[in-house]
Amino acid sequence: MALVKLNKKGIFFTMMAIALLSLFIISYSTYSVFQGREAISKRIKTMNDFIFLVEEDLSRQLYISGFRIIFLFENRIIETGEYIDDVNFSFQESLYNGTLYGVEKEIMQGVTMDGIADSLNEKALKINANVSLIDTSVEIMQEDAWNVLLKFEGTLLVQDKGGLVLWNKTHQDFLYIPVENFKDPLYLVNTYGHMSHDINKTPYEVFVSGNNVSNLSAHLMNFYYRESSSAPSFLKRLEGDISADVNGIESFVYVPNLPSGVSVLQKSDLDYIYFSANNPSSYKIQGMPSWFELDDDALVRYGAEGLKIV
């Protein structure tokens, strides 16, 4: 009988040990799963925050690239006296290759598409991740008179180096680069680089009030620009295209400032007319300098039709 009791006690303690061991294993496994899930959750949050920063940085760097490329265009016009043949093609050449007309440009170092991707990856290394930009496309256009629109689209891949998480995201950017303070290519080419006209928006909406031409005079004297659907846009000016554009801008040629070698003409002083073979009928204006002339359409736009001298 004593032996039987002893065996029963042994079995009881064995079962208790097995139960406690099982409970420990289950608790440890549950804790490990919880810890694993928490680590994954933290990693996902870190990567999400990083992707937000990547997209912000990508937009910033594309803006810098766009600004520099326009600067390159203008610098080439100054150096060669020639317009840019195809702005969109040349823009892509500079952004992807770092060249313009096949010539490498130092100013594009680090801001080509490859340079931008390398910069993003340097930041990604700090959180043990990789960044890739694939299937990218870029287009430069104008949707308003005072800004160049840089339209970008591409696939952004961000991957954890441990293979834990992967983001595959389409990135779109619509970046607006102001044209103000860039130089007007029409003046650069037609005055052989001697007359550099910065594009500055006029503060005036009304140019002539009755016989008062003070605003028109100030607009002329300060070389201001105004919107005009009869004039070429900034991008068209880069190409030497003087055709009318809904996003056009125009200024007056200040004839007394023309350098020697540039013919002084009696014609409308709107820049895209003066620097062209076009020669519509034009008239002097009461109260304005004796050399100043406007064509019929411009007289209406500036409110000076009642002051023309026939």
- Model pLDDT for residues 239-289, shown as the tens digit of each residue: 999 999 999 999 999 999 999 989 899 999 999 999 999 999 999 999 999
Same domain assignment for residues 24 and 171: yes
Per the model's pLDDT, the better-predicted residue between 92 and 14 turns out to be: 92
d(CA 26, CA 159) in angstroms, rounded, equals 33
User: What φ, ψ does residue 294 adopt, rounded to 5°?
Assistant: -130, 150
pLDDT given at position 34: 38
Using only C-alpha atoms, the chain has a radius of gyration, in whole angstroms, of 34
**pLDDT(138) > 50:** yes
Residues 126 and 247 placed together within one structural domain of the fold: no
pLDDT (average), residues 199-209: 98
**What is the mean predicted confidence (pLDDT) over 62-69?**
97
Say how many domains are in the chain.
2
CB 166 within 8 A of CB 44: no
Above pLDDT 90, what percent of the chain? 70
Confidence bin at 6 (pLDDT 50/70/90) = very low
Helices 113-125 and 87-97 pack at an angle, to 10 degrees, of: 40
Q: What is the dihedral of CA 138, 140, 141, 144, to 10 degrees?
A: 110
Residue 292 or 35, more confident: 292
Report the C-alpha gap between 22 and 15 in whole angstroms. 10
> Could you tell me which residues are beta bridge partners of residue 138?
152
Q: Answer yes or no: is pLDDT of 4 > 50.
A: no
15: pLDDT strictly greater than 50: yes
Q: How far apart are CA 289 and CA 310, in angstroms?
A: 15
Is residue 97 scored above 90 in pLDDT? yes
- Same domain as 132, residue 66: yes
pLDDT at 46: 66
94 in the same domain as 17? yes
CA distance 99 to 101: 6
Q: Residue 26 pLDDT more than 60?
A: no
The CA distance from 148 to 113, in Å, is 19
219 and 169 part of one domain: no
Model confidence at 102: pLDDT above 60 = yes
CA dist 152 and 166 (Å) reads 22
**Residue 161 or residue 290, greater confidence:** 290
Q: What is the pLDDT of residue 33?
A: 38
Domain boundary among 128, 153, 178: 178
CA distance 220 to 304: 14
Q: Is a pLDDT exceeding 80 seen at residue 142?
A: yes
User: Among 127, 159, 178, where does a domain finish?
Assistant: 178
**Are residues 214 and 149 located together in one domain of the fold?**
no
Burial 26-48 (b: 16+ CB within 10 A, else e): eeeeeeeeeeeeeeeeebeeebe
Q: In the predicted model, what is the mean pLDDT of the chain? A: 88
At residue 259, the pLDDT reads: 93
Same domain membership, residue 174 and residue 52: yes
Residues 254 and 199 in one domain: yes
Q: How confident is the model at residue 174 (pLDDT cuts 50, 70, 90)?
A: very high
Identify the pLDDT of residue 89. Answer: 96
Q: Which two tokens stand for residue 94?
A: 């500079």
d(CA 71, CA 64): 11
Residues 160 and 258 in one domain: no
Rounded to an integer, what distance in angstroms lies between the CA atom of residue 70 and that of residue 148? Answer: 10
Domain boundary among 153, 178, 203: 178
| pLDDT at residue 298 in the model | 97
Looking at the DSSP bridge assignments, the partners of residue 167 are 158
Q: Are 270 and 231 in contact (CB under 8 A)?
A: yes
Q: State the greatest distance between any 2 C-alpha atoms of the chain, in Å, as a whole number.
A: 140
pLDDT band, residue 203 (cuts 50/70/90): very high
pLDDT reported for residue 165: 72
**160 in the same domain as 21:** yes
Structure tokens at 174: 């619509």
Examine the pLDDT at 167 and tell me if it is beyond 70.
Answer: yes
231 or 31, which is more confident:
231
Locate 222 and state its tokens: 């300060």
Is the domain of 45 the same as that of 160? yes
- pLDDT of amino acid 54: 87
Using CA atoms, how far apart are residues 113 and 133, in angstroms rounded to an integer?
A: 8
Range(s) of the domain holding residue 219: 185-309
Kind plus residue range of the DSSP H or E element containing 170: strand 166-178
Give the residue from 258, 291, 248, 74 showing the smallest Cα distance to 145.
248
| 84 plus 53 within the same structural domain | yes
Is residue 192 within 8 Å of residue 275, measured between CB atoms? no
- Whether residue 258 contacts residue 252, with contact meaning beta carbons closer than 8 Å, is answered with no
